[in-house]
Amino acid sequence: MSVKIKYFCGVILLWINLVNGQDTTSCTLPGGGSGVCVNLEECKELYEIITNAHEKKQPLSDDDKKFLREHQCGPNIRKITVCCEVQINSNFGQVSNLLPSPEQGNCGADLSERIHGGNKTKIDEFPWMALLQYKKPGNRLGFHCGGVLINNRYVLTASHCVNGKDIPKTWTLYQVRLGEHDISMEPDCEGDDCAPTPIDILIAQKIPHLDYIPESKNQKHDIALLRLSQTVQFNDFIKPICLPTAPHLRSSDFVGKPMDVAGWGRTELGRMSDVKLKVRVKGVDRDTCNSIYSQRNLVIEKGQLCAGGEKGKDSCKGDSGGPMVALDQGRKPYWYCVGLVSFGLSCGLEGWPGVYTEVTHYIDWISENIRP
């Protein structure tokens, strides 16, 4: 039997001073995703906030009250109605339990208090960033692409960094560096705060998407996994990013969404900054992006997304294959990987967005290709 109605009297007071809205079937979640307006008891996530407090015989915390208020979508006179996240669409496969869970707080550590005014990052900012190192003739080593750590054994990157047409045949993708900030400094310090020595881990297996065609103009399916030769030990400077597995993220188009691209500006051919940089971009709708890239006879397809296009702001500040990330501002905020840097016409060219591999489109592929 459910918690007695009288227990909810205190909760009902949460909504008394709110502006009444219409009780509709669909609604918008605080984070911007789609939800359905249902009775509180029918929404497991929100209802458990109430029942857990009741079982512990504790009042609701201020954070819980705020979270519940933000999800209010009514109320109607007799029932408390809330905007509840829709269930995963049947077209979505089951997410691998090998991927860290945002709900458990073991990925995408919230960095929302960071200041985004400049280009340089803090030494512990974006701790999921990875640098890909290539072995060249004469046993020379060089960083020429980026990636993102998604659990303790896998890095996600672009397929063009693994088997792209521009990678010289004499190069071998060799290892991954984690926990780096300034390539030219050892150790990395910010005042008295110093980071541990970055770690280099050999790549045990390269898994490019089988449908990726290196010579294709639009670089569809530009995604790859790198299995590391050993388990990564996490610390404040090395942490995995979350993937956009929540239903409201998997159904989002990210148009107008503020997102961050970070990295050292490494491409498969170029050498840029020694210090990790960042830039903020906004998502651009696919129709607009296609109208722009049609001038180059390119079609941006499902599984790709566009962002940026402001003068001087583009993924050239990040790495080829590196992540574009966004903050989910739910009850427990976390960062997740929206896209991977794929290609663009020119660095920071006004009116020309960068093109990214859309990670939500490949959640099933990722789940199917990772193992313990």
Catalytic residue among 144, 160, 221, 248: 160
CB 360 within 8 A of CB 91: no
d(CA 213, CA 219): 7
CA atoms of 356 and 127, how far apart (whole Å): 21
State the DSSP code for 197.
Answer: P
Catalytic annotation present for 320? yes
Neighbours of 255 (CB within 10 A): 15
Pair of tokens at residue 241: 């990013």
- Report strand pairing: 323-328 vs 81-85: unpaired
Count CB-CB contacts under 10 A for residue 198: 18
| Given 182, 222, 319, 328, the catalytic residue | 222
The two counts, helices (H) then strands (E), for the chain are 7, 17
CA gap 328, 344 in Å, rounded: 26
Total residue count of the chain as it appears in this document: 372
Active site residue 229: no
Which H or E run includes 301? none
Distance of CA 308 to the CA centre of its chain: 16
Question: Cα separation of 227 and 149, whole Å?
Answer: 10
Closest CA to 318 of 301, 293, 337: 337
Buried b (16+ CB within 10 A) or exposed e, 108-138: bbebeeeeeeeeebebbbbbbbbbbbbeeee
Helix, strand, or coil here: 170? coil
DSSP string, 255-290: TT-EEEEEE----SS----SB-EEEEEEEE-HHHHH
In the set 159, 252, 315, 320, the catalytic residue is 320
Q: Which residues are catalytic?
A: 160, 222, 320
